[in-house]
Amino acid sequence: MTETPELPENEKQKLISLGQAVIKTEASAVSDLLPRIDDNFALACSFMLHCKGRIVVTGMGKSGHIGNKIAATLASTGSPSFFVHPGEASHGDLGMITPQDVVLAMSNSGETGELVTIVPIIKRLGVPLISMTGNPSSTLATEADVALDISVAKEACPLGLAPTASTTATLAMGDALAVALLEARDFTEEDFARSHPGGSLGRRLLIHVKDIMHSGDAIPMVGHNASLTDALMEMTDKTLGMTAVIDDDKKLLGIFTDGDLRRTFDQNIDIRNAMVKEVFRKGCVTVTPHMLAAEALQLMQKKMINALLVVDENDTLVGALNMHDMLRAGVV
């Protein structure tokens, strides 16, 4: 077991104070951006909305790390985007930028050599250039078609050296662009899920009942004239904790569950000689194959049940599922 280091109370309080000071400084830097969400910001959004190619994000050092994240956020929220390292751009990667693209370049100083070097090539291509800098008078800002001001009063680093508040402000401005574009594009949860099929949201929004239900011979079902013994054997064989009860045309009449079996015992019914039609429940909760699995789960939770039967538009039984199927599919 790892030994927990002990700190004197004065050292502990000093660390807490330093951490709080950083949060306050960075929160102030983000708050200062509010009046800069202006016509310039709207123009930057307009360039991106009308982009027929990709939004190419670029930046060096810490700005580059932030740029990678901004590109990923844009791409996952409906604005196709990728990151290009400006150092590599001068050695061939500029070929990744086409006249249909928009370039989003970020540099706190606005004078980063690797970025300034490629600006003339970007301009020659006729590609709109949007800058995010902490110096509105810098080369990058003055050469850009739209210059977004992300300057900060001070860095959170007590030395004033490590990019902290400035990178936080850059990230916040990038998120503001991405979310504004998301709304302008009428980007939906379903659109988001399609670009995140491996995530929990993707599973919840893209999986339908038909994708996880038991169908065909795997459906537990008995005819309405079956014996209760036959129903119990069907439940045991199909292991879903219930069986559907159907008529001669395979139309659903009702359901018989483990819970119904326990209630049958309480009624002193002769199980060996009883018929399923004497004990099954009519008018059970059903879903359709094309319903989202997440909606089916919500219904199960609301009704406090563990299994559902699936019917088509004619009330014909086509499937069955239970909570274990939801868990296996990652819907829960």
- The pLDDT tens digits for 89-146 are 766 677 788 999 999 999 999 999 999 999 998 998 899 999 999 999 999 999 999 9
CATH code (residue 286): 3.10.580.10
Q: How confident is the model over 33-56, as a mean pLDDT?
A: 95
Q: Are residues 218 and 116 in the same domain?
A: no
Q: Please state, in angstroms and rounded to a whole number, the distance separating the CA atoms of residues 87 and 175.
A: 24
Q: Please state, in angstroms and rounded to a whole number, the distance separating the CA atoms of residues 91 and 120.
A: 15
Look at residue 1 and tell me if it is in a domain: no
Q: Are residues 36 and 183 in the same domain?
A: yes
Q: Please state, in angstroms and rounded to a whole number, the distance separating the CA atoms of residues 47 and 102.
A: 7
The domain containing residue 166 runs over which residues? 22-187
Quickly state the pLDDT bin for 179 (edges 50, 70, 90).
Answer: very high
Alpha-carbon distances of 189 from 155, 211, 285, 290, rounded to whole Å: 36, 19, 27, 18
Q: Are residues 239 and 308 in the same domain?
A: yes
* DSSP-derived secondary structure letter, 227: B
Q: Are residues 130 and 233 in the same domain?
A: no
**Residue 139 pLDDT:** 96
Q: Are residues 246 and 157 in the same domain?
A: no
Look at residue 174 and tell me if it is in a domain: yes
Q: Are residues 108 and 222 in the same domain?
A: no
Domain count for the chain, please give it. 2
Q: Are residues 220 and 301 in the same domain?
A: yes
Q: Are residues 148 and 64 in the same domain?
A: yes
- The pLDDT tens digits for 257-275 are 888 888 887 777 777 888 8
Strands 221-223 and 129-133 come out as unpaired
Average the pLDDT over each of 191-195, 205-209, 322-326 and give the range with the smallest value. 191-195
* Among 187, 221, 240, residue at a domain's last position: 187
Look at residue 202 and tell me if it is in a domain: no
Q: Are residues 225 and 312 in the same domain?
A: yes
Q: pLDDT at residue 16 above 60?
A: yes
Give start and end residues of each alpha helix (H) in the chain: 9-31, 39-49, 61-76, 86-89, 113-125, 139-143, 165-184, 189-194, 200-206, 209-212, 228-238, 258-266, 293-303, 323-329
Q: Is the torsion defined by CA of 250, 254, 259, 260 positive or negative?
A: negative
Q: Are residues 163 and 249 in the same domain?
A: no
Look at residue 98 and tell me if it is in a domain: yes
Look at residue 204 and tell me if it is in a domain: no
Nearby residues of 63 by Cβ (< 8 Å), 6 or more positions away: 106, 107, 108, 112, 163, 167, 170
Task: Supply the Cα-derived Rg of the chain in whole angstroms.
Answer: 31
**Residue 317 pLDDT:** 93
Q: Are residues 174 and 42 in the same domain?
A: yes
Look at residue 260 and tell me if it is in a domain: yes
Q: What are phi and psi of 119, to 5 degrees?
A: -60, -45
CATH code (residue 183): 3.40.50.10490
Q: Are residues 28 and 176 in the same domain?
A: yes
